[in-house]
Amino acid sequence: MTQGWQDIQAEALRRIQSREWPPGAQIPKEAELAAELGCARATVNRALRALAEDGWLERRRRAGTRVALSPQRRAQMVVPVLKQEIEKAGKTYNHRLLHIHSDANELQLRTLHLADGAPYAVEDRIIALDVLPQAAIQDFTTISANEWLVQNAPFDHGTMEYSAAPAEAFEATHLSCPEGTPLLVLTRETFSEAGRITRVRMAYAPDHKVRLNI
Amino acid sequence: MTQGWQDIQAEALRRIQSREWPPGAQIPKEAELAAELGCARATVNRALRALAEDGWLERRRRAGTRVALSPQRRAQMVVPVLKQEIEKAGKTYNHRLLHIHSDANELQLRTLHLADGAPYAVEDRIIALDVLPQAAIQDFTTISANEWLVQNAPFDHGTMEYSAAPAEAFEATHLSCPEGTPLLVLTRETFSEAGRITRVRMAYAPDHKVRLNI
DNA sequence: GCGGCTAATATGTATAGACATATTTCGCAG
DNA sequence: CTGCGAAATATGTCTATACATATTAGCCGC
């Protein structure tokens, strides 16, 4: 009856979902569970840690482990790289650099991303040249800024925001839709220790969906 | 110089980001790293496993560990429970049941969610009564379907989709905006072993943003 | 060269024991 | 009763060892 940590995890999850361990309640300590279930404490630890990472449990040293008051399910989302996103869907990726302008501090770019020749998204980006001077000498017609940055500008942290906005004039033109059409818009900023690397507004073609599995 | 697994993880991440271990390359096996860094193999395992979960590495038994071709950063998103979302922002939550209709198989609901009295989102939901018969006798004027389901209908898996859509007539009315205004829309379906539990379309008030930290 | 069986091997996991660390609890001084 | 420092304690982590498992590499017969 040698148990694996996944079995322990499944058993604990069963007890949570069946309310044998109701929300907010303390659960037995690791050593007790190990004894009850016939395995080592490290195995129980692995199982409970995984459940805590998934939001089912809250654990604190000395205070013990309790069931989360509202077990929130979490979904993972990857920071999108359009080229991969499109090629993964079995389509051909292309991009066109629409506009580029730079001054001492900033590089501004507008890029149209295409899937099988059809407009996929319009990208409006600012790159900080003091943080990332190499960007000034890069040819963004052969590799898109989106892709180049992912490969060459590792970031510490950043934010992503999804919202809905009416298509602006230039977006409407390039995405072949009427001005004002509701578009899904992603705004992202990334930072390194030296400061803000880039800020991008990505307007997706009409009816685009961002899908997550939970 | 006793190393913790987080130190090992940091060192490995440094080697990845500095291209000492370039994308696609095999990295030394756990036992070698353990010897080099002066710790037990289990500690290296813990560190590399964490990096693999974050998308930096790909690991396969016998084949070894290699740097991911495109290290994709991942963001975690929680399945939103509006009441908590609003109260966390320091506002008062309320909801109004706008419409309810049921037949033998399904319960249909429309709910308006309010933050400090202002429209926050309109929810259009279907609940499968064969999967969740208790829903038929529940009073959804005191607790919103959104909240009740999270607490009473644990699900196995599901999907979430964000998109942008023009406000439909009833949405425009309840969110006090012109018909056709771009709205951020979340569509979610959840399933248990017995089948689909619920399907919901949540249309957020204009200018709503979904924010993620990465 | 090809198909298939077998051995080799890197990661995955279980275990007992030890120590580290964050918190709480409790006793003591004031 | 109050505040503070010390002891108790549950989880966090490291170690060494052993075995499990997936997958590759290599051998063999044809």
Which chain B residues touch A163 with a CB distance below 8 Å? 184, 207-210
pLDDT at residue B4 greater than cutoff 90: yes
Q: Where are the alpha helices (DSSP H) in chain B?
A: 5-17, 30-37, 41-53, 82-88, 145-152, 169-174
Beta-carbon-side half-sphere exposure of residue B30 (alpha carbons within 13 Å): 18
pLDDT at residue B204 greater than cutoff 90: yes
Summarize pLDDT for B10-65 with one digit per residue, the tens.
999 999 989 999 999 999 999 999 999 999 999 999 999 999 999 999 999 999 99
Q: What is the pLDDT of residue B71?
A: 77
Q: What is the pLDDT of residue B3?
A: 81
pLDDT at residue A2 greater than cutoff 70: no
Q: What is the pLDDT of residue B1?
A: 53
Is B150's CB within 8 Å of A207's CB? no
What is residue A72's three-state secondary structure? coil
pLDDT at residue A8 greater than cutoff 90: yes
Beta-bridge partners for B121 = B113, B204
Is B184's CB within 8 Å of A164's CB? yes
> In 3D, which of A74, A36, A111, A60 has the Cα closest to residue B212?
A74
- For chain B, what percent of residues have pLDDT higher than 90? 85
What is residue A113's three-state secondary structure? strand
Summarize pLDDT for A23-45 with one digit per residue, the tens.
999 999 999 999 999 999 999 99
What is residue A203's three-state secondary structure? strand
Summarize pLDDT for B129-179 with one digit per residue, the tens.
999 999 999 999 999 999 999 888 888 889 999 999 999 999 999 999 999
Summarize pLDDT for A126-145 with one digit per residue, the tens.
999 999 999 999 999 999 99
Span B180-198, mean pLDDT?
95
What CA–CA distance (Å, rounded) separates A151 from A162?
A: 23
What CA–CA distance (Å, rounded) separates A147 from B190?
A: 34
Q: Looking at CA atoms only, how far is residue B213 from chain A in angstroms?
A: 5
Burial class (CB in 10 A: 0-12, 13-18, 19+), A26: exposed
Best residue of B16, B18, B79, B204 to probe chain A, by most A CBs closer than 10 Å: B79
Is B78's CB within 8 Å of A73's CB? yes
pLDDT at residue B74 greater than cutoff 90: no
